[in-house]
Structures are given as structure tokens and as C-alpha cells.
Chain A
Amino acid sequence: MEKLVNSLVAEISKVVLGKEHQIKMALACLFSRGHLLIEDQPGMGKTTLAQTLAKVLGLEYSRVQFTSDLLPADIVGVSIFDQQNSQFSFHPGPIFTQLLLADEINRTSPKTQSALLEAMEEGQVTIDGDAKKLPSPFFVIATQNPESQDGTFPLPESQLDRFLMRISLGYPDADVERALLAGEDPRTRISELRCLMTPEKLHAIYQKAGRVQASASLLDYIQRLITYTRTSTEFSYGISTRGALSLMRCARTWAFMHGRGHIIPEDLQILLPSVVGHRVRDAADYSGQSGYALVERVLNNVDVIA
């Protein structure tokens, strides 16, 4: 498994340079059947990462650019009256795909944002009272700009909670950036990438990752972490049970990706900022920007051995 992960990372890194950690995180998220939120400044390679992932994992891919006038029907599709057959026929929207890239999701109105909700949670959409199954696997990779930028609608907590992880890419290292500047645009290489995954392999990963062991001591540690976020006055609200379950799911995948049959505290420590960073909020923070710093504090205050 480790080999597969390494080759995936290597393949993606051909296009997304110097972001091995973020790539691994994104993989862990998708292998945990979770949706991924990438938050960063424009022009940091968010879309590139999503495209590359789709290509390498061999997933059917479609992209929706979210704008302020986008309507729910633009995503899920519409029923149009067919005059020849004298009946409505359904024209599926871009959501009927395996990997949906929701670009700049916070640029659109809350109404459209929430059109994604059902799809993300249930794996189906309901149009004209008709539930339609989405293809499996179904992933949403959403990107968003920091909310301080103009013309954004911040995602509400309930919507943020649907994303298993929130990561940000950050500026590349100086030498990586120099290579970028000197060489050709790596995006042109996307088409050359090999597909390393099949849906069967993906299902096998789901199955095996679910069997990773979590020992009593580890569960104690998780509970200490959760309790800290719920009782400390620094938090306006702590980690929900769904948040805790998500953490466990990711940790299992992460351990499995590293060839282990059991979770160790380091797995949790590395995942915690991405998995719960968007689910907690500082008591004095109303814009929701402080998640990562808070999670750092949790990790520094809750001991592994207790």
C-alpha cells in the first residue's frame, strides 16, 4: 500500500510541485470517502491539484465554476419538456460525475451552496421529487478563497461540517518556485499522467482501511482531545461527534496508507488541523479563521500519555 501511495504522490508531484504533504492529505481524504475543501489565495494551484487527482485516480471529472449568479439547476441539471415525446426528459447537470470540482464555492449564493449538501451527504440528488443516484465513488473537491476577500459568502458551519478535511496549499518553496518560473508550465503535463487507480482498487482500500485497529489507549487520547475542545473556554464550540468520527475515519486511512494495521497518536496529530480545523471556533473569533491555531493549542495541551 505504501508503495501505491508513494507512486501516486510521485505522479501527482510531477504537476503539483513540492506539495507532497498536501497531496497525501488529499488522498487520505478521498480514500476515506470524504469531500475535500481547499482554501487558499487564488493562483496557488488549487484547481491544478483537483484536476491532477482526478486524472491520476482515473475518475470521471467535471468542474463547475461557482459564480454569484449560479443557480442550483446549473449544478444538478434540469428537466426539459421534450415536444417529440411529449414528456419531460432530464438533462443531468455537472454533478453527475465521480469527481466534482466546485471551484470558488464561496463565491456563490447560499442557495446554490446548499444544493450540494444532499449530494455530498447522501450521494443522490432529488429533482422534481425524483431521487437520482450519483455515480460511485462521488467526491467533491471544493476550493474557496479566504473569506476576507470581497464578494464571498462564507460557508455556514453546517456546510463546512460536510467536508471531511480542509487544507490549504500555501506558497511553494523558493527553489520549487524557481523551477516553476524557469521551466515550462507543469499543467501541460496533466494529460501525460498515468492513471494508477481503478474503482475496484479504491473499493478495496475502503474495505481494508476500515479494519485498521484503534486501541483503548488511542481512543482515550481521542476522547481527551475532544473533551479539551468542549470544556476549554478558548472554544466557542468544540468538536462534534461527527467531527470525532471523521477524525477516526481519516486516521484509519492514514495508518493504512502508511502500511500500519493500527492507528498511532502521530496519525491523529498530523490529521487534526485538517480534519477539525474548520469545525472548531475560537470563542473570540467570529470569522472562523483561527481553527488551525486552536488545533495547535489542543495538541500542545493534551498529552499523549495520560
Chain B
Amino acid sequence: MAKVEQIPRNCFAWLLLALIAVIIPHGLRLPVWESIALVLVLTWRVQLYRGVWTYPNRLVKTVLTIGSAVGLFLQYGTLYGLDPMVALLMISIMLKALEMNKKRDVIVVIFLGFFTTSTQFLFSQTVFAFLYALLCLALLVAAQISLYQERQLSEMAEAFPMAGKIVLQSIPVMLILFLLFPRVGSLWAVPLPQSDATTGISDSMSPGDFSKLSKNGGKAFTASFDGDIPAHRDLYWRGLVLSHFDGRTWSPNRWGSYPGGELVDWVDSATSKKADWRSWAVPVGNPVDYEIILEPTHQPWLFSLPLAELNHDETGITRNYTWIKKGGVSQRFRYRVESDLSYEMARNLPPWLRQLELQLPDDFNPRTVATARQWAQEESSTEALISRFLNFITREFTYTLEPPLLGEHTVDEFLWQSQRGFCEHFASSFVIFMRAAGVPARVVTGYQGGEKIEDFLQVSQADAHAWAEVWIRDRGWVRVDPTSAVAPSRIESGIRSVFPRSVNNPLSMEAYTHISLLNELRKQIDIWDYNWQRWVLNYNKDNQVGLLEKIFGRVSAWHAGATMVFGVALIIGLITAYYWWQTRPKPLPPGLAEFSKFCKKFKNSGVERHTGEGSRDFAKRASSKFPQHKDAIEEITRLFERGVYAEDFEALKELKVKVKRFSLK
């Protein structure tokens, strides 16, 4: 009969737990039918484990395999791409797990599990994803350990602490590889996950958009300043400029409407050539330098304080002096910005551009247009006109997260009927009013303010804001924020001071700022996340080279390789040394030590003491082999017996001397 390789049941149990843990993070990304299939296969496996069902036969396995392959193909149309690949991996690991009944199969599944764990990082690289991956690793190692143990089911839990220990021991090696392993450019291009779902500020603005965004919450970006964080009222994070109004919705100018010239000036660190229109924006001298880590938005624009200067390849500046990134921000993006809070922006406005910034749809908001024209004649300067409008809204208007719905003539209704609105209502009506009065104006969207956590500034979706820019002769584009006239504290100290519970999304931690414990926790998590991003995720080839330079002064592949090998060897050596030290032979108590020394003198003489042989028996054998030493041997044995077993200290002393003197020669 062939030898049956029994797989310990503990191993199955751990493996099931590990598989569940490994699949969960991918579960939500998979097509629904595949998630259901995985759950069914898992159920089958559990029933197998319980001995209720039997293994699938060859036909069932073939149908399952072909069925899932066809399913995947129909779902994605291709296998090239991250999502289909992961889906394929998931289905294969589960099917393999279903049929495993030999040790070899279990090993295959465990290693597939390790691989799958690493694919989690293609989708999420937060500190929590890392900790979760460590958990998956520990579970898989526990399965691996229990594969080689024959234990009772009740002792199953014992494998986990051991696995934890192994994973912890591997962390130093992990660190060394992380720090030193050469960061090779991608050998193959994995199409990164593409998401249609954009988060944050979108490329258009209609009444109600921003209040919705504010209620939703979620992190937008973090900014860490080289110096002090500027005053809250100066933190206008420009995102994009909206110049086209269709009666309800604001959107950016279509590129087609810009005649000639480059619309975007891409950064090219090699040539550092700049488009001529960039010189029209001049810093006046209030520089701030900072670094931003932007959460993925799947949109191209980057947020920065005006007047910003980025030096990052793949970024470019538009003619509106906002910054964008090639291909959109699909993963966290870190960039350095040099800004100047005092600036002059575009003192000369080309006539074609002026035309665009005065655009208004016909037959909308007649009362606003009429009032604007009348006020423009009454006021002598643009500045006076602006302050008259701001005075007008200061008196009667309410800043609210719950603005009433507006009909066709949104601005008319807002200005003379509802008089209740959020930032987009104020910004939009102000710009339309100005345009009707013949002053070039435009809406700017982005974020205003942010929450200071430790030494960095965290900007949330709740800080989303819309304001206006007005072009004034000899001054260029000037920022005017009508919201500040209605709700000055929104600008001075942030949205949370006006609406402490603005975020009402129950999934967002920001909804619970009123519970101080949760609020502290949220801040702590943000700090971890920020540091994780800063120290771990941003560790790249340049940092690596820098580190090696710090250690060796210069960098070569040889150095890196040697350090890596040496480091790993050192860690393994230390761990081994620790275990050796734990189990090292204890020094013999006095007397026994001397006797053992005495026995060692008989080495290679033909009479060596056997394990378990007592002193008398040994002495007898030794004396018969070396009759010339009989007296000395018997004396030593007698002293040993007296010293050790009768605890006679004088005998011990004498024993020491006698053993020292004793020699076979």
C-alpha cells in the first residue's frame, strides 16, 4: 500500500484562515460573480474539512476551471491588466486550495498565498495595508508550521505565536532589503489600476457641489512647510480655474478657445526653458516653501498656494497659473512647491483672453445683469464696485451647508430671493455680477485652510472651497472671496469653526470630531499615515543612493551588495547567537568540573568515560588500563565522591590540586 501523506488538520485550519485573510482585501475589487464563486469554493473547502462533503471529481474540476476562465475573459475581454490578473490569481488559488490533499499541494497554496499577499500593495500602500500584510504572512507561516507538526487540534493556537516570532525575526532582513536592494526600474509595465471614480473637486461647479463635498469628508492632501505655517486666511490652495458659464454650471475654458501658443508649459528639468507668458506672473516677496502629498484624485490638477513654482517632471503649468500632472494623479503624489503669497498675476490681459473672461450666457439672470450694469455706472472704480457688492451680501445673506434648490435663473434667485448659500453660490454670483458689469472675472476652486496636526497641515475634502479672481487694471488678477464677507470665520479659522459637524458621512472619521477620543485617534492615524508616506513610501532610488553615500562616501553596486549580504548574515547570526546563548551549556558546579577535567585527560587513551558512567566504574576501568596510576586515580575518585556527594569542601580543594597534577604520562 502506498504511504498516505496525512496533512495535519491544524494546517488546513490555519490555511483556511490565511486564505480568507488574503482574499478579503481583493474581494471588493473582484467582479461580483467571482466573489460569489470564491465564497462557494471556500464553503466547499470548509465542508471538506469538516468531512461533510467529498473532494470534487475530475469532471467538476474541469468545469470549474474552464468556467472561471471563460467568466474572466467575458468580464475583462483580456487578461492583460492588473484587475484581470488579480482575479485570475484569486480564482486559481481557491481552486488549488479546493483540490489540495497532498503536502505538495498545500505548499503550492501557501506560496501562492505569499504571492497574493504581495499583490495587495499594488492597490494600497498605507500603513494599515502593511500591517494587514504582516498578519497574512503570520497566518500563512502558521499554516506552514503546522504542516510539519503533529499536534492536537486543541493545540492549534500554538502555531500562531511561533509564526509571529518568525515574522518578527524576518523584519530586520526586510528592512535591510528595503533599504539596500537595488531599485530596478520596472522590467515590465503593469497597467496600474484605473478608476473612473474621481474623488475631490471635479472639473465643473454647479450649485450644491461643494456643500456635498464638504459633508462627505475624506483626506485631500497634507502639506508640510519648511518654515511656519502661514495664517489660515492666506491658505488658498488653487486647484483649477473655471471661466465658462452655461447658465448653471461652471467649467474651464475649452483649450480650443485659446488661440496660439502653448497652453501648458511642461516642466523640463533638462532645458529649464519657460514659456513667455510665465514671466507675466511676478512674485513680490513673501516666499513659502512646502511639500504636498496629494491623495489620488484620478484628475490631473495639483493644488498649491499662489504663486506656485514646481520643479517636478511630469508636471506642467497652465495659462491660468494652475498646475497639472501628466496622466492624472492615480496614486499618492508628492511634490515640492515654492510659492509666493504676494504676487502680481498677468498685468496684461490679451484681448482674446479678456473676451473669454467676460463670457456670459444670454438670457440668464436678467435682474443681476441689469443691476450690475447700473452699479458699474454709479461706481467710479472696480474696487468700489467690488466693495459695494460685498457690502450688499454682508447685510442679509446666510452662509449655510443646506442651501435651497435654485431654479433657472440661479443667480437672480440667490441674490434676491433665497439669499442662503454655500461658497459656490457666492463665488458664482459674484463672478457673474462682475462680468455683467464688464469686469473680467473667473471662479477658482480648490481648498481653503486646513487642519494643523503636529507640524503638518492636513487638508480635507471638507475644506473644499470656491472663490473668485477679478482682473483689475494695473494689478492683474486679484483674489476676491465673497464668502469671507458673509462668514469671515470660515476664512479666518476654517470650516470646522462655522459648521463643527459639517461632515455627515458616517464612514468618515471626520464625522466624529465632536467625540474627542475619536478625534484624537483620527489625528494620530493621520500622523502615522503621514510619516509612513514620508519615510517609507517615498524612499526611492535617490534616497538609497544618498544613504549609501552617507555610509561609504561613494556608491557602487559592490558596496550595496556587500552591505546587503553582510547585513542579512549579521541578523541571522545575531538570532542564532541568541538561541545558542539561551541553550548554552551551563558551567559545571565545582567538583563536577574538576572531575570532568580529570576524565578529559584520558582522551584518546582507550578509556573514555561513557555517558552515564559513574566515577567508581570509571576509576575501576581506568585503573585496570593504567595500573601505574591506580593510586592517583583512586585518590581522585575518593576526593571527588567526598567533595561532591558528601559536600566536603576540603576534599574539593584537594581534588582541584590533585586533578591539576594528574597526568597520564
Binding site for B on A (CB under 8 A): 213, 215-218, 220, 260-266, 269, 299-306
A218 to B645, CA, bound (A): 7
A220 to B595, CA, bound (A): 16
CB < 8 Å neighbour of B647 from A215, A266, A299: A215
Contact B613 A304 (CB under 8 A): yes
Q: Using Cβ atoms and an 8 Å threshold, which residues of chain B touch A218? A: 644-645
B547 sits at the interface (CB 8 A): no
> When A and B form their complex, which 8 residue pairs have the shortest distance between CB atoms, in order from nearest?
A262-B646, A266-B614, A265-B614, A262-B645, A300-B612, A303-B611, A264-B645, A215-B647
Q: Contacts A264-B616, A266-B616, A305-B588 hold; do A215 and B644 have CB atoms under 8 A apart? A: yes
Query: How far, in Å, is A247 (CB) from chain B's closest CB?
Result: 15
A121 to B215, CA, bound (A): 84
Contact B644 A303 (CB under 8 A): no
| Other A-B pairs, 15, CB within 8 Å; known A213-B646, A304-B612 | A213-B645, A215-B644, A216-B589, A217-B591, A218-B644, A220-B589, A260-B646, A262-B646, A300-B612, A302-B612, A304-B614, A304-B615, A305-B596, A306-B588, A306-B592
11 contacts across the A-B interface (CB closer than 8 A)? A213-B646, A220-B589, A260-B646, A261-B646, A264-B616, A264-B641, A265-B614, A269-B612, A302-B612, A303-B611, A305-B592
Q: Using Cβ atoms and an 8 Å threshold, which residues of chain A touch B617? A: 266
Binding site for A on B (CB under 8 A): 588-589, 591-592, 595-596, 599, 610-617, 641, 644-647
Contact A217 B646 (CB under 8 A): no
A218 to B592, CA, bound (A): 11
Contact A299 B592 (CB under 8 A): no
CB < 8 Å neighbour of A301 from B591, B599, B612, B647: B612
Q: Using Cβ atoms and an 8 Å threshold, which residues of chain A touch B591? A: 217
A190 to B214, CA, bound (A): 112
Contact B616 A213 (CB under 8 A): no
Give A262's nearest chain B residue, CB to CB: B646
Contact B611 A264 (CB under 8 A): no
CB < 8 Å neighbour of A263 from B596, B610, B611, B645: B645
Contact B612 A217 (CB under 8 A): no
A303 to B611, CA, bound (A): 5
Contact B645 A269 (CB under 8 A): no
Q: Using Cβ atoms and an 8 Å threshold, which residues of chain A touch B592? A: 217, 305-306
Contact B645 A215 (CB under 8 A): yes
A218 to B611, CA, bound (A): 16
Query: How far, in Å, is A305 (CB) from chain B's closest CB?
Result: 5
Contact B588 A264 (CB under 8 A): no
Q: Contacts A305-B592, A305-B596, A306-B588 hold; do A217 and B613 have CB atoms under 8 A apart? A: no
Contact A217 B595 (CB under 8 A): no
Q: Using Cβ atoms and an 8 Å threshold, which residues of chain B touch A262? A: 641, 645-647
Q: Using Cβ atoms and an 8 Å threshold, which residues of chain A touch B616? A: 264, 266
Q: Using Cβ atoms and an 8 Å threshold, which residues of chain B touch A215? A: 644-647
Q: Using Cβ atoms and an 8 Å threshold, which residues of chain A touch B612? A: 269, 299-304
Q: Using Cβ atoms and an 8 Å threshold, which residues of chain A touch B641? A: 262, 264
Give B593's nearest chain A residue, CB to CB: A305
Query: How far, in Å, is B170 (CB) from chain A's closest CB?
Result: 30
Q: Using Cβ atoms and an 8 Å threshold, which residues of chain A touch B595? A: 305
Query: How far, in Å, is B634 (CB) from chain A's closest CB?
Result: 14
Q: Using Cβ atoms and an 8 Å threshold, which residues of chain A touch B647? A: 213, 215-216, 262
Q: Using Cβ atoms and an 8 Å threshold, which residues of chain B touch A261? A: 646
A213 to B595, CA, bound (A): 20
Query: How far, in Å, is A47 (CB) from chain B's closest CB?
Result: 34
Query: How far, in Å, is B437 (CB) from chain A's closest CB?
Result: 96
Q: Using Cβ atoms and an 8 Å threshold, which residues of chain A touch B611? A: 300-303
Query: How far, in Å, is A134 (CB) from chain B's closest CB?
Result: 36
A218 to B615, CA, bound (A): 13
Query: How far, in Å, is B661 (CB) from chain A's closest CB?
Result: 20
Give B591's nearest chain A residue, CB to CB: A217
Give B592's nearest chain A residue, CB to CB: A305
Query: How far, in Å, is B599 (CB) from chain A's closest CB?
Result: 8
A217 to B592, CA, bound (A): 8
Give A214's nearest chain B residue, CB to CB: B645
Query: How far, in Å, is B153 (CB) from chain A's closest CB?
Result: 21
Give A265's nearest chain B residue, CB to CB: B614
Contact B589 A265 (CB under 8 A): no
Query: How far, in Å, is A117 (CB) from chain B's closest CB?
Result: 34
Query: How far, in Å, is B620 (CB) from chain A's closest CB?
Result: 11
A220 to B590, CA, bound (A): 13
Q: Contacts A262-B645, A264-B645, A305-B595 hold; do A217 and B614 have CB atoms under 8 A apart? A: no
A22 to B175, CA, bound (A): 69
A112 to B591, CA, bound (A): 51
A305 to B645, CA, bound (A): 12
Q: Using Cβ atoms and an 8 Å threshold, which residues of chain B touch A305? A: 588, 592, 595-596, 599
A241 to B592, CA, bound (A): 26
Q: Contacts A300-B610, A305-B595, A305-B596 hold; do A217 and B589 have CB atoms under 8 A apart? A: yes
Q: Using Cβ atoms and an 8 Å threshold, which residues of chain A touch B615? A: 264-266, 304
A194 to B644, CA, bound (A): 40
A145 to B588, CA, bound (A): 45
A12 to B646, CA, bound (A): 32
Q: Using Cβ atoms and an 8 Å threshold, which residues of chain B touch A300? A: 610-612
Taking each of B592, B612, B617, which has the highest tally of chain A beta carbons within 10 Å of its own beta carbon? B612
